[in-house]
Structure 1
Amino acid sequence: MHRRMGQPAAAATNEQEHTFKVTQRVLCSVCYNLDPYQAPPHIDSDKKSWAQQKYIIPAKGPASKIEIYSPEKLRKAAKDGCLYCTLVVAALAGVHPGWETEDTYLFIFLAAGVPAIVCLTFGKTRSVTMTREEASSTFGRDYPEGEDMTFIVASGSDLTPIEVEIYRPIIPEDQLTVGDIAFSHIVENLGFAEEISQHSGDQRCFDFIKQNIATCVTHHKCGMGGALPLLPGRVLWIESGSIARIQLIEPKNIRASYIALSYCWGPLSPNTYLTNTHTLNARKAGIEFYDLPRLFQDVVQTARTLGIEYVWIDRLCIIQGDNEDFQRQADKMDEIYGNATLTIAAASTIDENDRILSPRNERFRSYDLNINAEGIGSVKLRVRRLSYAFLANAQEDYGRMSTRAWTWQERLLAARTVFFTPRALKFECRFHSIWEGFDKDRAGRSWSYQLENMTYDTWMRLVEEFTSRNITRPSDRLPAISAVMRRVSKSTGWRPLWGLWADSFIEGLCWASSLDDQCRMNPKRWAPTWSWASVEGPISYHSKPNKELDENNPMIWDLEFLSLDKASGLIKVAGRAVFVKLHATIEPERRKFKYKYEVRGRNDEEGFGVTPDVPLKPWSGNINGEPVSTAIRVPYGEKAPEQSWTAECLMLLVGNKKRESRVLTLGRSVAVAFAWERIGMTARNIYPATFSSSTRTVIEIV
């Protein structure tokens, strides 16, 4: 039996201990005594607190985000006797000595039953006050009427924020002290946490995995639930109790638990360990454990420890170089990962030559903060760096795995995944996620949970993440998302169209090439130009809703989707369009050129900036005997122009708000007579009145 009180400080070194005397509990105006019940409540634009976004907790639970843009206030409050400010100062000093001398600001996140999370961010801040009119003009948004608005402007830094949690440890009841019991009220608002193993191969880590699999199978029933899944058509068999006996087998209608591996490939060489037509029979005859790459060895060892006899690894279970076998297996990815008892995500590795069972970084060890109750004893807290990036976006950082398109799909499809990260394990199923060291009541939503509650907004964000990831063969871009789209279609009834949905087609057209990393043309045409899959590179959507701002200024969609030719991808739409001149200004820079694209009326009226899908160029020639001058995408392998140019194109209104519009920029299609091709996107700066004199017309886009 365990009691949640305190823990002796014997595990910490003398250099890591901090002791504080108990003083009268007066509410501090800086840290609010780290009490979420007394600190100002935090609610974001989605009307959710930070804690509701991170964890599965009651909606009415107290949560606060304390912003301290002048750390000197924190240090002064600690010096003046605030016990809780002193805890925060000491915690930061323990993990990052000398932080007081640097330009920083910090946030403290509080919630009922959760450890206090302190995020120290590097950089300078200043406040700027604007009227509502000034703010609307500056940010291109309509803000509700009211008082002047004050913004905190932070100058960023390349330094990674220091993120720590202050928590109460869980200890056996027979180790409780009088101080732990008598003065527990002093820290009653700080949540509990367990210790994190210093080696990912410790038995405690395997127990963590087993317990979470059992919880998911029993209570969540993700994937197959408690039923044994059908084994994939080709899988590794690991003989129970024998480290030497491994075989590649081709089972037929056999049900058993199995593990799937999600990882990043290293560069191929003649010595790369894989299965191809030449090695297939040898793999079936038997595989030597020590011939396997180190990652595969650790996966086999993990499977043995968990009592699972079958493992699926793409490099060994798909015949490499056999395109037919690859296509058959690619079509089954949703079944392979969705039915697996567990997917191991090798987030701590670069490739298959690294290990996942290894020691962890000493910097992430925990240490004690002792609160001394004079003459009675002490109440113990513990502090450690967070094992995950708290301020990062929801997709978090899983090393090289976060950069690959195939692992994006594998994570979304998997029923249950354990991430081996450099700092801790993370278990994720379709119902929730939980980090090693978390108290069991501190689970959060899983990333794959998005597929269970899909919205068009969610899909757009997923596509943005997907296109930012790398893929070895551009031709695999659509196959790498197809299994996810099939699963979404099955649950929602939506109809997929080359990475978009017919049910939200107009909104789906509003993608744009990233300004920071412009897209590139594909070697071949694998999708129509209106689809983001027609280019290679990161895109962003300009049609994602903003609930707070859209209430007063909603987007009105003007374009109408009429029909689709499934064979060619040609669509017919009805909308308002204007002919314009596209001006490309090209300025030489060191070892490259800087391109600026702007559209103007035929009489050179004031222009608007265009975000090109890829670099563009002018084109002149005859199409069906008609002389045509237009702008087109620069073909794959061809250099972009090195001199400025002008060409005619078409602006097609997609939708508009009061002060802004979503507009497609189109050039004449060289391949299909009388049709147009998408070449760019314009958002925000074009006033709807630009299209007031144009009549609705039917336009074909390929």
Structure 2
Amino acid sequence: MEVTSRLGLRYLWIDSLCILQDPEKDWKAAAALMGDTYRNAYCNIAATAAEDGTCGLFVPRTLLDVEPCRVVANWRGHHRQPYYCHGIGVWEREIEEQPLLSRAWVAQEVTLATRVIHFSRTEIFWECLEKRARESFVDGIPNFTAKKLSVRARDERDREWFQLDDGDFPFHEVWKNAVQLYSRGELTYRAKDKLIAISGIARSLPLPNEDYLAGLWQQGLSEQLLWTASESNGEGSTKTARSSEYRAPTWSWASVDGPVLMTTPSLSALNHASVDILEARTTLIDPSDRYGQVSDGFIRVRGMLAFGQLSQRVTTTTTRHSFSNGQVREVPLDSGVSGQTIVHRFRGDCHINIFLDVEDPHPGGHYHCLLVSQQYGGCGLVIKPTGARRGEYTRRGYFAVLTALQPDSPSHFVKLCGTFEAATQDNEMLYEAKADVTSEGVQQYIISLV
């Protein structure tokens, strides 16, 4: 209230006081409007260093922290002149790695607000569409230290991105940054609200709401499927996990708990797409809220598949993995990506890296690979049959073909496609229907991802 008063404002919104938390119906109605609340607010006041709601904005600090470090240099051939030092990584250390930003809901608050005042451990920071500043650099933090992790576009062309509605709007880049920031946070009390807590940002994008599919968008959907689970959350390592309570299809990043890395659809990637999206749907729990919770969903695709078995042997320093009957390669345990890294070499000119979304408690077993893009040698999804319906699969991870020869050629993955065709001879449950044959002579299949 003191900060609000000193800003010359009369009204203050506090979520915990202004929203009824217990009645589910009231809470959902208010949650759907929270994006408008933050986007239309004059300023967002952030207790960035506070561990919880009892800490407040103001903390004991040393005034030397807000005084710029002034150095007078006397280099040979130069006149004596003062220089001001700004530590590299201050924004990351004092803002992005602080307790407030570890809460998933806050990603929406700091993203949609036109202005944010951060109360950190050492000084006050300022963030808006034009600049980032701090008490010791009131005219703006030097550009080279400001990592653009916020979904706000800071160049002149995209400054008013909330008002843009033409084809130049970089919505895929905006959404990618928003999801990556959001996925680093935690939903302590309502894990099932994974989609609701980012719905305000989704509503702000100039796209038809019918294009929204449980955290992904119809436009550029095939490329968006290539997200990967990441262990890095700014505070060490954490394992991603699949939610025990259903909240999204496995092909959506919202189905896992933990940091994810998103890909940005590009014209080049779309030109290399090797999977056709035939149908994509989700079932909304509340049909009136396109950006809310879903009860199920599926994507029906046509594409090329490979079949193989993963196995591993753990030693004291490395894990050895193999896919199908390929040669074995040693991979460090600490890969930096969640789950297991499986490497397969064939014909000596390339290998396949497979990154599972979550650590498999029972390593090994049969998996399938669906080629999504031919770019950079090929990449796609690691999938596994559900056994419930013919041609129905769940996503288990991501794979990438790494090669030094003709990086845009799909031929390396094509070499493995015969393994899937052979497997279908004994099990027609592996596909819904056969499709056409590619120019490389590879049989395509129609399957569904749930």
TM over 0.5: yes
Q: CA deviation at 1:589?
A: 6.9
Q: CA deviation at 1:474?
A: 2.1
2:50 is aligned with 1:338: no
Counting only pairs closer than 5 Å after superposition, residues 262-411 of structure 1 correspond to structure 2 as 300-364=1-65, 365-366=67-68, 368-369=70-71, 381=82, 383=84, 385-386=86-87, 389=89, 397=96, 399-411=98-110
- Post-superposition Cα deviations, 1:47-86, rounded to whole Å, max 9, x if no partner, equal xxxxxxxxxxxxxxxxxxxxxxxxxxxxxxxxxxxxxxxx
Counting only pairs closer than 5 Å after superposition, residues 48-127 of structure 1 correspond to structure 2 as none
2:219 is aligned with 1:500: no
| C-alpha contact 1:597 1:609 (8 A) present in aligned 2 | no
Letter in 1 for 2:364: W
Letter in 2 for 1:655: S
Residue 396 of structure 2 is matched in structure 1 by 679
Residue 67 of structure 1 is matched in structure 2 by none
| C-alpha contact 2:305 2:368 (8 A) present in aligned 1 | yes
Decide which moves more: 535-544 or 559-568. Answer: 535-544
Q: Structure 1 stretches of 5 or more lacking a match?
A: 1-299, 373-377, 617-639
SS at match of 1:566: strand
**Mapped partners of 2:71, 2:173: distance in 1:** 44
Structure 1 pair 466–586 and aligned structure 2 pair: CA distance change class (3 A): farther
Q: CA deviation at 1:508?
A: 0.2
Residue 524 of structure 1 is matched in structure 2 by 245
The aligned length equals: 359
Q: CA deviation at 1:684?
A: 3.6
SS at match of 2:324: strand
2:338 is aligned with 1:600: no
**Mapped partners of 2:393, 2:73: distance in 1:** 72
Structure 1 pair 701–302 and aligned structure 2 pair: CA distance change class (3 A): same
Kindly name which structure, 1 or 2, has the bigger radius of gyration based on alpha carbons.
1
Structure 1 pair 307–668 and aligned structure 2 pair: CA distance change class (3 A): same
Structure 1 pair 539–333 and aligned structure 2 pair: CA distance change class (3 A): same
**Mapped partners of 1:608, 1:448: distance in 2:** 32
- Post-superposition Cα deviations, 1:523-577, rounded to whole Å, max 9, x if no partner, equal 12211111111111122235677x9xx7xx9971111111123334111112122
- Post-superposition Cα deviations, 1:16-74, rounded to whole Å, max 9, x if no partner, equal xxxxxxxxxxxxxxxxxxxxxxxxxxxxxxxxxxxxxxxxxxxxxxxxxxxxxxxxxxx
| C-alpha contact 2:151 2:174 (8 A) present in aligned 1 | no
**Mapped partners of 1:334, 1:449: distance in 2:** 15
- Post-superposition Cα deviations, 1:665-694, rounded to whole Å, max 9, x if no partner, equal 111124444311111110142772122442
| C-alpha contact 1:650 1:667 (8 A) present in aligned 2 | yes
Structure 1 pair 554–596 and aligned structure 2 pair: CA distance change class (3 A): farther
**Mapped partners of 2:313, 2:102: distance in 1:** 31
**Mapped partners of 1:685, 1:405: distance in 2:** 34
- Post-superposition Cα deviations, 1:423-445, rounded to whole Å, max 9, x if no partner, equal 33222233443333435477979
Structure 1 pair 358–646 and aligned structure 2 pair: CA distance change class (3 A): closer
2:112 is aligned with 1:413: yes
- Post-superposition Cα deviations, 1:355-375, rounded to whole Å, max 9, x if no partner, equal 323443345234555689xxx
SS at match of 1:401: helix
**Mapped partners of 1:322, 1:486: distance in 2:** 24
Counting only pairs closer than 5 Å after superposition, residues 167-186 of structure 1 correspond to structure 2 as none
Structure 1 pair 674–358 and aligned structure 2 pair: CA distance change class (3 A): closer
Residue 356 of structure 2 is matched in structure 1 by 612
Q: CA deviation at 1:408?
A: 0.6
Q: CA deviation at 1:509?
A: 0.6
Q: CA deviation at 1:609?
A: 3.4
SS at match of 1:449: coil
Letter in 2 for 1:346: A
Q: CA deviation at 1:486?
A: 0.9
- Post-superposition Cα deviations, 1:245-289, rounded to whole Å, max 9, x if no partner, equal xxxxxxxxxxxxxxxxxxxxxxxxxxxxxxxxxxxxxxxxxxxxx
2:137 is aligned with 1:438: yes
Counting only pairs closer than 5 Å after superposition, residues 123-162 of structure 1 correspond to structure 2 as none
Residue 581 of structure 1 is matched in structure 2 by 308
**Mapped partners of 1:396, 1:688: distance in 2:** 43
**Mapped partners of 1:681, 1:348: distance in 2:** 36
**Mapped partners of 1:442, 1:605: distance in 2:** 47
- Post-superposition Cα deviations, 1:427-477, rounded to whole Å, max 9, x if no partner, equal 223344333343547797983533545342342233222212222132121
2:159 is aligned with 1:479: no
**Mapped partners of 1:334, 1:530: distance in 2:** 25
**Mapped partners of 1:400, 1:362: distance in 2:** 22
Q: CA deviation at 1:397?
A: 2.6
TM-score (norm 1): 0.46
Residue 152 of structure 2 is matched in structure 1 by 449
SS at match of 1:528: coil
| C-alpha contact 1:608 1:685 (8 A) present in aligned 2 | yes
SS at match of 2:310: strand
| C-alpha contact 2:172 2:264 (8 A) present in aligned 1 | no
**Mapped partners of 1:684, 1:542: distance in 2:** 16
SS at match of 2:39: helix
Q: CA deviation at 1:392?
A: 5.3
% identity of equivalent residues: 23
**Mapped partners of 1:347, 1:535: distance in 2:** 26
Residue 696 of structure 1 is matched in structure 2 by 444
SS at match of 2:125: strand
| C-alpha contact 2:101 2:185 (8 A) present in aligned 1 | yes
Structure 1 pair 597–458 and aligned structure 2 pair: CA distance change class (3 A): farther
The RMSD of aligned alpha carbons is 3.7
Structure 1 pair 398–418 and aligned structure 2 pair: CA distance change class (3 A): farther
**Mapped partners of 1:431, 1:396: distance in 2:** 18
Structure 1 pair 586–494 and aligned structure 2 pair: CA distance change class (3 A): farther
Letter in 2 for 1:646: G
Structure 1 pair 333–672 and aligned structure 2 pair: CA distance change class (3 A): farther
**Mapped partners of 1:368, 1:615: distance in 2:** 50
| C-alpha contact 1:370 1:380 (8 A) present in aligned 2 | yes
Residue 421 of structure 2 is matched in structure 1 by none
Structure 1 pair 319–561 and aligned structure 2 pair: CA distance change class (3 A): same
**Mapped partners of 1:454, 1:397: distance in 2:** 23
Decide which moves more: 595-604 or 309-318. Answer: 595-604
Letter in 2 for 1:468: R
| C-alpha contact 1:488 1:494 (8 A) present in aligned 2 | no
Residue 468 of structure 1 is matched in structure 2 by 184
Q: CA deviation at 1:498?
A: 0.9
**Mapped partners of 1:322, 1:533: distance in 2:** 24
Structure 1 pair 508–315 and aligned structure 2 pair: CA distance change class (3 A): same
| C-alpha contact 1:348 1:398 (8 A) present in aligned 2 | no
| C-alpha contact 1:489 1:496 (8 A) present in aligned 2 | no
